[in-house]
Structure 1
Amino acid sequence: MKRVVSVSLGSSKRDHTVQIEILGETFEISRRGTDGDLAKAVRLLRELDGKVDAIGLGGIDVYLVAGGRRYAIKDGLRLLRTLKVTPACDGSGLKNTLERKVVAELFRAGILRRGQRVLLVSAVDRFGMAEALVENGAEVIFGDLIFALGIPVPLRSLRTVALLAALVLPVLGRLSFKLLYPTGQKQEKETPKYGRYYDWAEVVAGDFHYIKRYLPPHIPGKIILTNTTTKKDELLLKERGARMLITTTPELQGRSFGTNVMEAVFLALLGKKWEEVTPADYLSLIEKIGLGPSIRVLRES
């Protein structure tokens, strides 16, 4: 049996373990949250190194991407470099391949449509999704300044995102990741804010913790395109009026695991280190496994 563990800076309340079979291999997949404690995450990684087949780094990015450039995140690199034996990843390889593919499929199926208004809470976290939305004709607001920095300025083009990223990410990447992204118990906190951007959108897309962070009390008819959701999250969205929940990774025993977990499964199947895996490797496994989105209708329109 292969063991894959997601070590996350997120809340330990979201911990979960499943056993599944993938391409004839039995996997034990687990998530272990460290409640925003970077030092605890480092200790846990050292404990697991060499004892599991692959590790996903959750609740943090090692790299952010914009305009074809990759920007390192200091805290993410620290976690990655803690590991000496076990291969590890942050999910960005799957975000750039699987999520790009999923978005294109959703347009082809008519679930998303050309001209639809989409709020993508962070483009640099999901540049594959961002490009796919634009390529398929969606009208997109990129919420990177709003959701990461609390600056209520919507970005309306990928060129603007890339220019801003080149200016600020080399500096922001050196700061504590907690300043950019909710970790630990902050993931459980909601502060309804920036409602006009949610109201404008027909689809709210991207990282679920960013989506939830400022989620308004009423989101009637919205489509939520995200991942890493639990049954509790699904109930929350339904209670607030969302029409549909689409997760870019499949549901495993009651929750959708993050892209970091699924990418770690890919590393274990391929027997490769993260830097050795190519987009063609990802796409080949996506096809073999039949990996695709999970679509749940929460309310009939």
Structure 2
Amino acid sequence: MKKLFAVIGDPIAHSMSPIMHNELFKINKIDAHYHPLHVKKIDLEAAIKGLKAIGTAGFNVTIPHKETIIPFLDRLDPLAEAIGAVNTVVNEDGELVGYNTDGSGYVKGLMDKIETINDKNILIIGAGGAARALYFTMARTGVKRLDICNRTLAKAAAIVEDCPYSVVSRAIEISSAEASLSQYDIIIHTTSIGMAPDINQLPLSLHNLQPNAFVSDIIYNPLETKLLHEAKQRGCIVQNGLNMFVHQGALAFEKWTGISPDTEQMKANVLQQLGG
């Protein structure tokens, strides 16, 4: 019997996850289908009950349900519980178990270009769900310093205060981050600023960026945001959000099937769909 997988969100039509996972099922000769489901906030509880009732083998969760889905799940992985957000659900013998592969997927993608982050001074820009997942995962992994900046300072401070893992850190305003940008080895942008169609925006000034810094943007449409373009012009190594997208998807696929997929092939398939 064909297994059913899904991604739920609002909106959902833009998601490339169905293309990525259905291709993986085909490559690995798994009789399964991955379907996008448009679920509004008001219908979330009913949708989760329905997915469980029909025996859905697993599903992904995207905006705006990553946090609000938690009360409707049976169990949480410890990291997902600490982060307070879920992006992957596995049906384990009738129980819906929530995981968060965003942070781990990002770190795996980062390791494609950087050998270690343990000795790095890192700045995260933004304080949303993605920033929280990255912050907690990197704090658990271990870094030299992990600062976070946001237009609303209180949101950044809440992430620092909530993190259960020990790390040298501070929450700072955007202006402070701009002034001290040269102190950071890695700068990670996690907001939607610069995403299509508003591609000419920057989250902060790069005036004090050091030329050998590594600048990362979790956006992958466009493949090169204005932030990455300007950082590259200043001599920095840059990375878009494609690696994070592929690696978090690969981790989800592994949790569902026990198979570690070929991430390079996954990346090539997504690039083809993006016209890159």
Indicate the SS of the match to 2:8. Answer: strand
Indicate if the aligned counterparts of 1:55 and 1:87 stay in contact, CA closer than 8 A.
Answer: no
Alpha carbons 2:8, 2:60 under 8 Å: kept: yes
CA RMSD of aligned residues (A): 5.1
Tell me which of 244, 253, 266 is aligned to 2:254: 266
Q: Which whole-Å CA distance do the structure 1 matches of 2:45 and 2:155 have between them?
A: 34
State the partner residue of 2:56. 52
Match status 1:108 vs 2:115: yes
Residue aligning to 1:6 = 7
Which TM-score applies when normalising by structure 2? 0.54
Answer whether contact 2:122 2:186 (CA < 8 A) is retained. yes
| Pairing of 1:10-159 with structure 2 (within 5 A) | 10-12=10-12, 14-16=14-16, 17-18=18-19, 19-21=22-24, 24-26=28-30, 28-34=33-39, 37-49=40-52, 50=54, 52-59=56-63, 60-61=66-67, 62=70, 70-71=81-82, 73=84, 85=94, 87-92=96-101, 95-96=103-104, 98-104=105-111, 106-108=113-115, 114-115=119-120, 117-119=122-124, 121=126, 124-126=132-134, 127-132=136-141, 134=143, 137=144, 139-143=145-149, 146=150, 150-151=153-154
Distance 1:43 1:105, change over 3 A: same
Q: How many residues align?
A: 223
Note closer, same or farther for the CA distance 1:166–1:266 as it changes in structure 2 (3 Å cut).
closer
**In structure 2, C-alpha distance between the alignment counterparts of 1:28 and 1:151, rounded to whole Å:** 42
Percent identity over paired residues:
6
Deviations 1:165-194 (A, max 9, x none): 279xxxxxxxxxxxxxxxxxxxxxxxxx92
Distance 1:95 1:84, change over 3 A: same
Are residue 165 (structure 1) and residue 159 (structure 2) matched?
no
TM-fit CA distance, 1:85: 4.2
Per the TM alignment, residue 99 of structure 1 is displaced from its structure 2 partner at its CA by 4.2
Letter in 2 for 1:247: G
Q: Which amino acid aligns with 2:113?
A: L
Residue of structure 1 aligned with 2:230, choices 238, 241, 244: 241
Amino acid at match of 1:107: I
- With over 3 angstroms needed to count, the CA separation of the structure-2 counterparts of 1:113 and 1:91, relative to structure 1, is closer
Cα gap change, 1:166/1:249 in structure 2, threshold over 3 Å: closer, same or farther? Answer: closer
The Cα of 1:39 is off from its aligned counterpart by: 1.8
Q: Which runs of 5+ in 2 are unaligned?
A: 71-75, 165-172, 233-237, 272-276
**SS of residue in 1 equivalent to 2:23:** strand
1:54 Cα deviation from its structure 2 partner: 0.8
TM-score normalised by the chain length of structure 1:
0.50
- 1:75-104 CA-to-partner distances (Å, cap 9, x unmatched) read 97xx97xx9947453424x634x4444445
Partner of 1:205: 188
